[in-house]
Amino acid sequence: MSPIKDEGMFQNLKNDLPASIVVFLVAVPLCLGIALASGAPLFSGIIAGIIGGIVVGVLSGSQLGVSGPAAGLAVIVLSAINELGAFDIFLLAVVLGGVFQLLLGFAKAGIIGYYFPSSVIKGMLSGIGIIIILKQIPHAFGYDKDYEGSLAFNNPDGHNTFSELYYMFEAVSPGAITITLLSLAILILWEQKFMKNIRLFQIVQGPLVVVTLGIILNLVFQNISSFALNADQVVAIPVPETIGGFFDQFVFPDFSQIGNSAVWITGITIAVVASLETLLCLEATDKLDPFKRVSPANQELKAQGVGNIISGLIGGLPITQVIVRSSTNIQSGGRTKMSAILHGFILLGCAMAIPAVLNLIPLASLAAILFLVGYKLAKPVLFKQMYNLGQSHFVPFMVTIIGIVLTDLLVGIGIGLAVAIFYVLYNSYKKPFLFNKEGHLKDGVIALELAEDVTFINKASIQRTLSQIPDGTKVIIDASKTHSIDHDVVEIIEEFKTNAEYREIDLTIIESKQKDIPNQVRELEEALRKQLNGKANPVSV
């Protein structure tokens, strides 16, 4: 893989431009679908997509993340609009949510994202991949009752992800199936090694060919009644009669409701949920990045905050970083943030100039593209890799996947995180000290070397161990390498010391020499800062 040039944002344009077109094609129906599910004007989803691409793209430190309206917020938006009574009042809550996100960024709350285990993040990616495939199967058959971009198990039509696969046979469309099969054939062909070696096909992406073919077939099928696609089976972007009509679609917030407590509560809710979803997607995107760059989380929160402020001011939905668009960007060859920015400009230009052309794109074509995205997120080889890492990694991974598929993104991640924490606590419980079994058999001394950090979690296992030591034994409790020990554990050792006198146990306690250890991360950061300022000798890390 060739290195990325850092001479400017336009140096990787040959990679970023084709990727931006693919991301744009995927983003259009997702923006519209999420707006529809949110009970908001369809154009509000387009606005959010434009702002997420251009504004957040410019301000973000993430090179491959793509932002826009998120399915995870659809239920919150729908209930908030109904509760507040008007869309323009809701927009004020979006602005306030952006302000709160900005404050979270300055408060360095982005560190929260680093506390999610790798097994949960990989489970999130695989779970979303599986959901994408399951959700797109009905669209591939021409059954479009569930909105594009949906990630929730329960659908607005009363069905769920699995029952939808049954009901779709009631509305099978020969035209949609034909487009899907031809599109998949093209995409699979484009993935072959010999195709990637041809320069023309490096520039012209398979998804672009698929969409072009879909538009042509849609026009051809209009003359064949049994194959003709109906209005629900194609993209449906609002079409203004004039350029002025395009700007008439913007809506502005009602600032007279600034004293409404429900608006503030909604704003805080949007900020918390959007920030959490963004941080999770940021971490997942970094893991997918072939160059393994690390994105600054606090800068991302600030960028999202500014994006939501602007989106709310001009009539857009709340914005987060979105893994479907981000992973599409990566799989399409995007290299830098320029791909996300360009997709925003393309979305803006097409929404203004050629909305009628966009409305010829079949959802079946986009379903085929998303099938490939979903497969790459949930490749079977990943399941094998996680299984080989052992139970403590594989179980949280699988629980996260199942939770996401059967509930929604945040609930599934929460369940996976709970299971991962259980394994962390269980492993800590099992390893409160080191014990050399071979050495004990040779000299008969039971030597327990306490771990670096001994907490209340280790209390039960230490108490159980000490209670099982036979009378008349020689015991050494070595805390010389321990940095911190919980008071509960100290009490147990003191009680054992008193009890040992009555049981003729020869007890030696080696106390810790590590007193008042300062914050080592902060110490290193300070040392590096002084080094960069030329105030200290080089620090070896």
- pLDDT per position as a tens digit, 472-481: 889 999 888 8
Q: What is the mean pLDDT of the chain?
A: 89
Model pLDDT, residue 366:
94
As given in the structure block, the two tokens for residue 81 are 């609009």
Q: What is the mean pLDDT of residues 252-272?
A: 96
Quickly state the pLDDT bin for 541 (edges 50, 70, 90): very low
Model pLDDT, residue 479:
87
What letter would DSSP give residue 146? S
Three-state DSSP state, 513: coil
- Is the pLDDT reported for residue 442 higher than 50? yes
| Greater pLDDT, 196 or 213 | 213
pLDDT tens-place string over residues 126-175 = 999 999 999 999 999 999 888 888 888 988 778 899 999 999 998 899 99
- Residue in the structure block whose two tokens are 């991360």: 521
Q: DSSP alpha helices (H): ranges in 333-436? A: 338-353, 355-358, 363-377, 380-388, 391-406, 409-430
The percent of residues above 90 in pLDDT, for the chain, comes to 64
Model pLDDT, residue 516:
62
Model pLDDT, residue 2:
57
Quickly state the pLDDT bin for 9 (edges 50, 70, 90): low
Model pLDDT, residue 147:
84
The percent of residues above 70 in pLDDT, for the chain, comes to 93
pLDDT tens-place string over residues 355-365 = 999 999 999 99
Beta bridge partners of residue 320, listed in sequence order? 68
How distant, in Å, are the alpha carbons of 49, 247, 352, 355, 508 from that of 243?
19, 7, 7, 11, 86
Q: DSSP alpha helices (H): ranges in 456-486? A: 459-467
From 7-21, 30-44, 208-222, 263-277, the region with the lowest mean pLDDT: 7-21
Model pLDDT, residue 197:
82
- Is the pLDDT reported for residue 178 higher than 60? yes
Q: At what angle do helices 363-377 and 13-37 cross, to 10 degrees?
A: 110
For residues 262 and 84, the answer to whether their CB atoms sit within 8 Å is yes
For residues 479 and 450, the answer to whether their CB atoms sit within 8 Å is yes
CA distance linking residue 25 with residue 66, whole number of Å: 13
Pairing of β 67-69 and β 319-321: antiparallel
Model pLDDT, residue 360:
95
From 249-263, 372-386, 395-409, 482-496, the region with the lowest mean pLDDT: 482-496
pLDDT tens-place string over residues 28-75 = 999 999 999 899 999 999 999 999 999 999 999 999 999 999 888 998
Model pLDDT, residue 3:
57
SS3 content of the chain, % helix, strand, coil (to 5): 65, 5, 30
Torsion of CA 71, 407, 123, 293, to 10 degrees: 20
As given in the structure block, the two tokens for residue 78 are 């729908």
CA distance linking residue 340 with residue 335, whole number of Å: 10
Model pLDDT, residue 526:
81
- Is the pLDDT reported for residue 298 higher than 70? yes
Model pLDDT, residue 467:
87
pLDDT tens-place string over residues 310-337 = 999 999 999 999 999 999 999 999 999 9
User: Amino acid letter at 455?
Assistant: T
- Is the pLDDT reported for residue 350 higher than 90? yes
Q: What is the mean pLDDT of residues 370-391?
A: 94
As given in the structure block, the two tokens for residue 345 are 């400009």
pLDDT tens-place string over residues 498-512 = 999 888 899 999 887
From 17-21, 366-370, 522-526, the region with the lowest mean pLDDT: 522-526
Model pLDDT, residue 535:
55
Beta bridge partners of residue 450, listed in sequence order? 433
Measured at the CA of 17, the angle between CA 7 and CA 343, to 5 degrees, comes to 110
CA distance linking residue 35 with residue 30, whole number of Å: 8
**DSSP code string of 196-252:** HTSHHHHHS-HHHHHHHHHHHHHHHHTTSTTT---GGGB------SSHHHHHTT---
Q: What is the mean pLDDT of residues 266-286?
A: 95
Quickly state the pLDDT bin for 514 (edges 50, 70, 90): low
CB under 8 Å to 504, separation ≥6 — which residues?
A: 471, 472
Measured at the CA of 323, the angle between CA 356 and CA 234, to 5 degrees, comes to 25
| Greater pLDDT, 462 or 381 | 381
For the domain 433-510, what is the CATH code?
3.30.750.24
Model pLDDT, residue 252:
96
Quickly state the pLDDT bin for 11 (edges 50, 70, 90): confident
Model pLDDT, residue 536:
47
CA distance linking residue 348 with residue 54, whole number of Å: 9
Could you give the strand order of the β-sheet that contains 433-435, starting from the edge strand earlier in sequence? 433-435, 446-450, 474-478, 506-510
